Amino acid sequence: MRVSAIGIVACTFLALQPPAASAAAEFKIVTASERGTYIQIGRDIAKFVAPEANIALEVLPSAGSAENVRRLRYEPGVKFAMVQSDVYQAFLDQAQEGNVAAARMLHPLRVIMPLYNEEIYFITRADTPAEFIHEIKDAKINVGPVGSGTALSATTLYRLMFGKPIAEENTSYLSNEDALVKLLTEKTLDVVVVVAGQPAKLLTDMKPEARQFIKLLKLDPNHSTARAALRTYFPATVRAANYPNVLTEDVPGLAVKAFLVTYDYNRPETIRYLTKFAESLCHNFPRLRTEGHPKWNEVELSLPALGKGWSYFPPMERHLRACPAMTAASQAVKRRQCSQQEKILGLCE
């Protein structure tokens, strides 16, 4: 059979073409409100990490951490979620107490890595006599939308501090923006609780005159209520440099840890994309710190021991633990922990 010269050229041309790039996987990450820090962290991940893993990552707003747990478990396409440590722990506690729905949602969830501390802000009117967080007892408090991490943090903190839940008649579940309107104009609220890593857009967007209308309550670490809160939460400092239109000095406060979470996937194709994501996270971590949200500078590329009932996703864990940046950080920790006796005995590396 004769083959035309044109056919030979065409076949040769096609054979020389590089194989078509496979279509990017379309995954989603659930974050929090449009004005919070979670969504900005999610956008950084979508911009700097996902492309190298051949993932087209859609960043979705949400009501917050509690909703994120449900959406990661049940919503198609959602492969990543931002979750507060106290929300994750609350689901775990409920599961251990026999709540079947909580167990079903939490059992297949896996941690990718801890991120940073999120500050908890207690916002009140500038003319209120209260100065400290422990003075909010029996106040009318907006805890954030139902299903949000803020709502869980606010109600958990109140219960830890005062040994009882916030009275239902004193509790509202509005968005931050709607709550601030009621706080300042209608004065039907006394306190608005906001959870967001600093600098939080909600506060950085405020005008210079904001200081005339609102203030942040401080933590008194020596007060008995603070000692109770610090068994679950972390001490923090809200820096005036981040909020020059609101603060004239740094404010001591509280924080909760943020985690990046996924699911215990077993499909080989999904695992392949997630391991590539872990490799890209390792490779692009310096870029996240230099070009991403300032909170990335507080993130350590490390996988510390998790609490009982928590676990990492093994395929991603293996790649992250092999990351040179994590290895260097581990070695630095070893050097810092080297005791005088070890040094004398020549046991320090």
The pLDDT score that the predictor gives to residue 14 is 44
Tell which wins on pLDDT, 45 or 301.
45
The pLDDT score that the predictor gives to residue 348 is 52
Taking the chain, what is the end-to-end CA distance rounded to the nearest angstrom? 73
Contact in structure between 273 and 123 (CB atoms under 8 Å): no
The pLDDT score that the predictor gives to residue 45 is 98
Cβ neighbours of residue 117 closer than 8 Å, sequence gap 6 or more: 197, 234, 236, 255, 256, 257, 258, 298
Cβ neighbours of residue 330 closer than 8 Å, sequence gap 6 or more: 302
The pLDDT score that the predictor gives to residue 64 is 87
Beta-bridge partners for 29: 59, 80
Query: What are the pLDDT digits (tens) for 232-243?
Result: 888 999 999 999
Which of the four pLDDT bands, split at 50, 70 and 90, describes residue 133? very high
Compute and round to an integer the Cα radius of gyration of the chain.
Answer: 24
Q: What is the mean pLDDT of the chain?
A: 87
Stretch 236-264: mean pLDDT: 94
Query: Residue 208: pLDDT above 80?
Result: yes
Query: What are the pLDDT digits (tens) for 164-197?
Result: 999 999 999 999 999 999 999 998 999 999 998 8
State the pTM of this model.
0.73
